[in-house]
Amino acid sequence: MKPPRRKFLQLAAGAAALPAASRIAWAQAYPSRPVRLVVGFPAGGTNDIHARLMAEWLSKHFGRSFIVENRAGAGGNIGFESVVRAAPDGYTFSVCGSSELRNEIRYNELKFSFMHDTASVASIMLAMNVLVVHPASPVHSVPELIAAAKANPDAMTVASSGLGSTPHVFWELFRSMTGTRMLHVPYRGGAPALTDVLGQQVQVFFATPADAMEHIKSGRLRALAVTGATRTPALPDVPTIGEFVPGYEAMGWLGIVAPKDTPAPIIEVLNQAINAGLADAKIKQTIVDWGETVFATSPAGFGKFLADEHEKWGKVIRAANIKL
C-alpha cells in the first residue's frame, strides 16, 4: 500500500488531468474534510476577525469546518510561507492583505514570492485610513499641513505602526506627491502610535477608521482627510486627500489566496461561496460597521488588483528605500 500522502497527491494530479466536466464534478464534492484559513497575525487583529467572519459563513455554506489558524511572526511571513509550502489541494488558504503583499518588496531575502507562489481566490474588503492630528494642533486641513511641513522641514513628526507598515507607506506616498518632509516615528503597532498622538507626543498619523473613529467623534482627534478616492459615509464631512493632492489614493485590503497550482474549479467554487457571503446583509453590515467597503470580485479580477497594488507600492517602497 502506498503512503496516504503520496496516494492523495497522485489523486490530485490525476484530477487536474481529467476532462473539464470531470474536474467540475470533482470540485463539486469539495470540501470533504476541514479547510484551514491561515492568518499570519495574532488573534483579534484585522486579518483574524475577517478570517473568522468568513470561516463561519463558509462552514455553514459547505457544511464542513473552515478553521482559522493563527501563525504569527515576522510581519505575517511565517504564516504566509506555511501556506505557500502547503499542498495545492484546496485545503489550505491564506487570509492576507496589503502587508503580506508588500513583504516581498520590503524584506531583503524571502524564500517565496507573493505574486509567483500563490493563486488569487477572492477579495473581501477595502479600507481607507484617516489622516488625523490632535485637536490642539494649529493644522486644520491638508493644505495647512503641507504648508506647515514645507515651512519647517522635519520639524513636524508623523507616527506609523512600524517601518514599512500601512501608515508608513501611506505617508511616503503623500510625501512623494507633495514634496513635504516630516520626521518619521515608527512604533510597534497602531495602538501605541495612536496613544502618543492623543498625548501630543507626535503630531500626525494615518490611522485606521476602526482605531480612530471613537476619538474623532468624541473630539479627541481631528480628522483632516481620508485616503480613499471618495469620501466615506462614516465621516461624510471629512474630505479626501485627493481633493487637495490630485491622484492620491491609498487603500488597505484583505483577501484570500491559495498555494500556486490549486485546481481552478476549487478556486471558482470557493470564490462563489465567498462572494455569496459578502452579499449577505448581516456580513455586509458588519464590514460597513468596521468602517470598510465590501470588495467582491472574480479570481482573475482579484489577481489583476494584486498586480496593480504590487507595482504601485513597489515604486513607493523602493523610492523611500524601505528595507527590513
One digit per residue, pLDDT tens: the chain, 324 residues? 344 444 434 444 444 554 555 555 555 689 999 999 999 998 988 899 999 999 999 999 999 999 999 999 888 999 999 999 999 999 999 999 999 999 989 988 899 999 999 999 999 999 999 999 999 999 999 999 999 999 999 999 999 988 899 999 999 999 999 999 999 999 988 889 999 999 999 999 999 887 898 999 999 999 999 999 999 988 999 999 999 999 999 999 999 999 999 999 999 999 999 999 999 999 999 998 888 999 999 999 999 999 999 999 999 999 999 987
**pLDDT, position 52:** 97
- Cα–Cα distance, 148 to 224 (Å, whole number): 14
**pLDDT, position 323:** 87
Query: What ranges in 36-108 are assigned the alpha helix state H?
Result: 46-62, 77-84, 98-106
**pLDDT, position 48:** 93
Q: How far is CA 165 from CA 110, 236, 313, in A?
A: 17, 26, 11
Q: Taking Cα atoms as reference points, which of 10, 237, 42 lies closest to residue 1? A: 10
- Cα–Cα distance, 206 to 158 (Å, whole number): 8
Q: Are 291 and 210 in contact (CB under 8 A)?
A: yes
Strands 130-133, 222-226: pairing is: antiparallel
**pLDDT, position 91:** 98
**pLDDT, position 7:** 40
Residue 283 three-state SS: helix
**pLDDT, position 10:** 47
pLDDT tens-digit profile of 210-233? 789 899 999 999 999 999 999 998
**pLDDT, position 122:** 98
Model-level pTM? 0.86
Q: Are 19 and 1 in contact (CB under 8 A)?
A: no
**pLDDT, position 26:** 57
**pLDDT, position 12:** 47
Mean pLDDT of the chain: 91
Task: Give the other-Cβ count within 10 Å of 31's Cβ.
Answer: 19
**pLDDT, position 306:** 98
Q: How far is CA 235 from CA 124, 146, 178, 183, 226, in A?
A: 22, 22, 24, 28, 9
Query: What ranges in 203-247 are assigned the alpha helix state H?
Result: 209-218
Grid cell in block for residue 115: 505574486
- Cα–Cα distance, 252 to 309 (Å, whole number): 10
